[in-house]
Amino acid sequence: MNWLHLLFNGPPGTPASVVWGFWVAAILTICIYSFLYKDNPLYKFAESLFVGLGAAYWLALLYHETLVPKLLHPLFPGTSGDPVQWIRIIPGILAVFMLLRFFPKISWLSRWALGFIVGMYSAVNITGFAQADFVAQIHATMTTPLNSGGALAIILNIIAIVGVCATLIYFFFSKEHKGVLGGFAKLGIWFLMIAFGASFGYTVMGRVSLLIGRMQFMLRDWLHIIE
């Protein structure tokens, strides 16, 4: 009876809204994991609900965090006394062009906005990627002294330098990979595979941690089986 009381009422002092929230979250979790058995209507319902709520949340967030402060307020400052930023009309027009996708006769205008977004996004991310990953790694490889630490640190520094050089040689296609150059290129492949494997393992570890979190919620917060 005590366990049933905790299940339907929660610990003493727990609001009823929190208890019902636990029940809704638990039922939706079970619906999602029911896909492990087979595809079924419960899973489709939970999936559609998740996608719909996510889309609604991001739409509201974009409206309050992007559209209002970065477009509407600069164009219509009201009584704040700030000058009207007419330059904001350009992104506003492009935003309207994106919505013209729903009108077949003038949907071609959306390509202008889409092309601008893809071009700017690619340029910004390529620059950021080159600076954060490429240039920064080369700078760290060239400036970090080999004897920065104990024997283990020296060995790791040497491995890092050899790995960077071997990986760069693998992507050097101006000369055929034969002899010493081919050996370093094969070594670069090993370093790449180790890096990809570590990245994949990190991703799997993150998914497993999410599973553990859900199981802790189900067994501790909802069923009160574990402390």
pLDDT tens by residue, 28-43: 999 999 999 999 999 9
pLDDT-wise least confident of 13-22, 70-79, 115-124, 145-154? 145-154
Nearby residues of 162 by Cβ (< 8 Å), 6 or more positions away: 187
Q: Which of 32, 61, 82 is the last residue of a domain?
A: 82
Note whether 182 and 188 are within 8 A (CB).
no
Query: Both 70 and 7 in a single domain?
Result: yes
Q: Which of 118, 143, 168 is the last residue of a domain?
A: 143
Query: Both 99 and 59 in a single domain?
Result: no
Task: Quote the mean pLDDT of the chain.
Answer: 89
pLDDT above 70 covers a percentage of the chain that reads 99
Query: Both 76 and 105 in a single domain?
Result: no
Helix H, strand E, coil C: the string for 21-71 is HHHHHHHHHHHHHHHHCCCCHHHHHHHHHHHHHHHHHHHHHHHHHHHHHHH
Q: Which of 11-15, 52-56, 72-76, 151-155 has the highest mean pLDDT?
A: 52-56
Query: Both 28 and 98 in a single domain?
Result: no
Query: Both 99 and 136 in a single domain?
Result: yes
Residue ranges making up the domain that contains 50: 1-82
Q: Which of 51-60, 67-76, 139-148 has the highest mean pLDDT?
A: 51-60
Query: Both 149 and 225 in a single domain?
Result: yes
Query: Both 74 and 20 in a single domain?
Result: yes
Residue 52, pLDDT > 90, answer yes
Residue 118, pLDDT > 70, answer yes
The tally of domains found in the chain comes to 3
Distances (CA, A) of 107 to 100, 102, 116, 121, 158: 5, 7, 15, 22, 57
Query: Both 151 and 139 in a single domain?
Result: no
pTM: 0.71
Q: What is the pLDDT of residue 183?
A: 93
Query: Both 210 and 158 in a single domain?
Result: yes
Residue 1, pLDDT > 60, answer no
Q: What is the pLDDT of residue 130?
A: 80
Q: Which of 143, 168, 191 is the last residue of a domain?
A: 143
Confidence of residue 62 (pLDDT cuts 50, 70, 90): very high
Query: Both 48 and 16 in a single domain?
Result: yes
Query: Both 93 and 155 in a single domain?
Result: no
Confidence of residue 142 (pLDDT cuts 50, 70, 90): confident
Nearby residues of 34 by Cβ (< 8 Å), 6 or more positions away: 40, 42, 43
Query: Both 152 and 226 in a single domain?
Result: yes
**pLDDT tens digits, 167-207:** 989 998 888 889 999 999 999 999 999 999 999 999 999 99
